[in-house]
């Protein structure tokens, strides 16, 4: 994300004096923050379009992008439910579970090793991404690939919710 933020800001630099350059950097930084603030809302609405009323999703770790998709589905009047992996050792899944429960989503918190048992009850696996390579490969938390392989073996679709800021064109 940081290289993309820098590209956005530096690409728009303009001015013939230090003061003008400074002003353009501040303007581009503000524009970037504004874009980033609304990007997750837009992503949520796009992701919510993939979810049907009554769908059950499984999440891994805590992703505000994945959370935004489920929140938007609720705002659209859908009633999703979720299996949330606790994600050891930092138990980031607890943050997701609290956030979803606060929005009225039926949440079941499961220990990481039990996730495979519940995949057959899920319509989607919904994860975020730390980075996305130019070829579409996803870099995410430890445990994501194992969950993805298990989901694939069961025919459960895997959805990655991530904004374009996560795209790393250099990889």
Q: Considering 61, 65, 69, 123, which one is annotated as catalytic? A: 61
Whole-angstrom distance, CA of residue 98 vs CA of residue 71: 12
8 A C-beta contact, residue 83 and residue 110: yes
Whole-angstrom distance, CA of residue 105 vs CA of residue 92: 18
Structure tokens at 55: 């769908």
- From the DSSP assignment, how many helices (H) and strands (E) are in the chain? 6, 8
- Cis previous bond, 89, omega within 30: yes
* Residue 106 annotated in active site: no
Q: Considering 69, 112, 130, 135, which one is annotated as catalytic? A: 130
* Residue 61 annotated in active site: yes
As annotated, the active-site residues are 61, 130
């Amino acid at each position: 994300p940081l290289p993309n933020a820098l590209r956005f800001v530096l690409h728009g630099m303009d001015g013939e004096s230090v003061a003008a350059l400074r002003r353009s950097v501040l303007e581009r930084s503000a524009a970037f923050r504004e874009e980033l603030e609304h990007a997750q809302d837009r992503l949520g609405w796009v992701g919510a379009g993939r979810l049907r009323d009554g769908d059950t999703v499984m999440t891994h770790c805590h992703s505000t992008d994945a959370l935004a998709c489920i929140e938007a589905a609720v705002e659209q009047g859908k009633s999703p439910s979720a299996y949330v992996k606790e994600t050891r050792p930092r138990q980031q899944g607890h943050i997701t579970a609290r956030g979803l429960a606060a929005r009225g989503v039926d949440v079941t918190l499961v220990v990481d090793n039990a996730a495979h048992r519940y995949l057959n009850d899920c319509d989607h696996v919904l994860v975020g991404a730390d980075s996305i390579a130019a070829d579409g490969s996803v870099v995410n938390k430890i445990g994501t690939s194992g969950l993805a392989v298990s989901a694939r073996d069961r025919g459960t679709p895997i959805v990655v919710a991530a904004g374009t800021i996560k795209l790393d064109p250099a990889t």
